[in-house]
Amino acid sequence: MDRNHPTPGGLWLPLVTPFRDGALDEASLRRLVRHYAAEPIDGLILAATTGEGLTLDEEEIERLVALTAEALAAAGRRLPVFLGLSCSDTRKLVKAVGRSAEWPLDGYLVTCPYYTRPSQEGMVRHFSALAEATARPIMIYNIPYRTGVNLGNAAMLELAARPNIVGVKDCSADMAQSCELLRRKPPGFAVLTGEDAFFHPMLTQGAEGGVLASAHVETRAFAAVRDLLRAGDGPGALAAWRAIGDLPQLLFAEPSPAPIKHWLWRAGLIDSPELRLPMTPVSEGLAARIGQAMERRRREAAS
């Protein structure tokens, strides 16, 4: 099988979308992109779950992509940028891919069709139609606890035979399914975990990386787990993971991305923790826990 696209791997960040007074906060977005351009990440994903993509209109998504490309260019960092797409109507999704054909993007992260619960054959046809509609690489996003449908490994491997379906963000939450996929997947098809708490164990099983919302925080520490395992230092990687293993639990204690936005706002990286309904701000209790965690890490870094 001839693949013309690089295999995604390493640490990918599903970037939050900053808002202020109901609108896209362009100043905060530029600040965020500049910040993460200086961090050891391997790719960015825009307007996906963490980026509240379902609340963005077409003009906002196009502006988000353009501003990100401009900020990366100004920072002098070349990073692959994928756009998150989610729709249960294959025709509409093909049109969305067509509209973005000239945008400064490197590929797409496409969620399994939600709510309608199509068959395995229906999902194979859905992703096949998208793969035929673009020459850009596509990463499948399998997250059955959000969509209501699980793309099984037989269907996944059928799709993996397509040259521009280059990988999956795996949120199956089924370690047996994930490990079977890792054993059977073809060369050039990447499995990136989207379960932040599974990052270290999935890497040890052969996953190519992760798409981790938690890596907005302590980005270099998450990258160190990746780097130590690549260098063959298993004990060092485990120690590095244990130092940050509590972060996913904290940052997903309430619906994401509210806790992450609160942390980034407290850290001065965005000007507001604002979300769009139906997402709501963190509770007072979680805000206090985040503040305590930030202070503890500040003291540890200073010692």
Closest alpha carbon to 189 in 163, 150, 227: 163
Q: Which of 92, 95, 115, 141 is catalytic?
A: 141
pLDDT digits (tens, 9 = 90+) for 109-157: 999 999 999 999 999 999 999 999 999 999 999 999 999 999 999 999 9
Catalytic residue status for 114: no
Q: What is the H or E stretch that residue 266 is in?
A: helix 258-266
Instruction: Could you please state the CATH topology (level 3) that the domain comprising 10-244 is classified under.
Output: TIM Barrel (3.20.20)
pLDDT digits (tens, 9 = 90+) for 205-216: 999 999 999 999
Catalytic residue status for 169: yes
The answer to pTM > 0.85 is: yes
**Average pLDDT per block of 10 residues along the chain, 303 residues long:** 79 98 98 98 98 97 98 97 97 97 98 97 98 97 97 98 97 95 96 97 97 98 97 97 96 98 98 98 98 93 82
Q: How many alpha carbons lie under 13 Å from residue 172 in its C-beta half-sphere? A: 20
Q: What confidence score (pLDDT) does residue 2 get?
A: 56
Q: Which of 36, 169, 185, 261 is catalytic?
A: 169
Q: How many alpha carbons lie under 13 Å from residue 136 in its C-beta half-sphere? A: 23
Q: What confidence score (pLDDT) does residue 125 get?
A: 98
111 is in an annotated binding site: no
The full DSSP string for 51-72 is: TTGGG--HHHHHHHHHHHHHHH
211 is in an annotated binding site: yes
| Per-residue burial over 70-84, b = 16 or more CB atoms within 10 Å of its CB, e = otherwise | ebbeebebebbbbbb
Q: Check: CB of residue 261 under 8 Å from CB of residue 276.
A: no
Q: What confidence score (pLDDT) does residue 300 get?
A: 86
57: Cβ contacts below 8 Å, ≥ 6 apart: none
| Main-chain phi, psi angles of 151, to 5 degrees | -80, 110
Q: How far apart are CA 96 and CA 78, in angstroms?
A: 25
Ranges of each domain in the chain: 10-244
